[in-house]
Structure 1
Amino acid sequence: MTTDHEKALQTFHSKLLDSGHIMHVTVKYITGLPFYYLQPEAHVSKQQLEEQIKIAAAKAMKGKRLTLTMSYVRKSQAGYVYRVRFLVPQRKMFCCGNLCDDCIRFTNP
C-alpha cells in the first residue's frame, strides 16, 4: 500500500512528462534528498519550466495535506536541476494540556 506522499511523487513525475514542455525527467536521491534533472524542450524558458513544475506539483498535492518546497540548484549540460520536496505536516504526538483544537486526545488511533 502506498502512502499519500508516494502517490504524490508518482503523480508529480507523470504530470511533468505529460506537460509537453519537458522531454526527460531523471530523479537522483543524494543524501536522501530528491534532485530532479529536467530536460526541457528547446523553446521553453526557465520561468515556463518553473511554472510547469508548480502546476504538476499542485495536481499531485490535490486532496492531500502536503506542501511544496522547490529550489533551483543549477543549470546542467542537459537541462536544469531542481530540489523538489513534498513535506508532510507534523502531527502532535502528545497532549500538552493547552486544550488545542488538534489535540491527540480527540483523534482515533
Structure 2
Amino acid sequence: MDIEVIWKLFLKMLCEYDSVAQATYKKSAGIPFLYIHANEHPSKNELEKAIRQSAAGAMKGKQLHSETEFIRTEDHLFVFRHRFYVPQRKMFCCGNVCPDCIRLKNQE
C-alpha cells in the first residue's frame, strides 16, 4: 500500500467540501502538515469534521488509522498535523487473556 495514493485521494475528497478552496500537505522534519485554504471563515470544528470524513473515505477497505491535531490559523489558512499510520499489532502474549491475543489467532 502506497501512502502517497492515500494522501492524493484524501486531498481530492477534502477539496470537494464547499468550505475548502485548496488543500495541500508538506512534510517538515518527517511530520506531515496539512494546509487548508478556506473559502470563507469556517469554524475549526467544521474543518475537522471534513478532515475526518475525507480520511475515512480514503482509508476505506484498508487497515489504516489517522490522527489530526490543530496547529494554527491565519486569515483563511488553517494548519493541522495530520498523519495516516498502520496500527501496531501484538507480537507476544502478555497473559491477560486479551481479545486480540496472538495465541488465539493461531487457533482460527
Amino acid of the residue matched to residue 104 of structure 2? D
Total equivalences in the alignment = 101
Alignment partners' CA distance in 2, 1:86 and 1:35: 11
Amino acid at match of 1:28: K
Unaligned runs of 5+ in 1: none
**AA aligned opposite 1:27:** Y
What are the Cα deviations for residues 56-94 of structure 1, in whole angstroms up to 9, with x where unaligned? 01101111111111000111344110011111022466x
* Alignment of structure 1 residues 1-109 onto 2, 5 Å: 3=1, 5-91=3-89, 100-102=103-105
Runs ≥4 in structure 1, deviation > 6 angstroms?
A: none
Whether the 8 Å contact between 2:32 and 2:82 is mirrored in structure 1 is yes
TM-score by length of 1: 0.77
Rounded to whole Å, the distance in 1 between the matches of 2:24 and 2:2 is 21
Structure 2 unaligned regions, length at least 5? 96-101
State how far apart, in whole Å, the 2-side matches of 1:79 and 1:26 are.
11
TM-score relative to the length of structure 2? 0.77
CA contact (8 A) 2:39 2:76 kept: no
Q: CA shift at 1:34, angstroms?
A: 0.7
Look up the match of 2:99.
none
Give 1:39 deviation, angstroms: 0.9
Q: Distance in 1 between matches of 2:71 and 2:44?
A: 12
* RMSD (Å), alpha carbons: 2.4
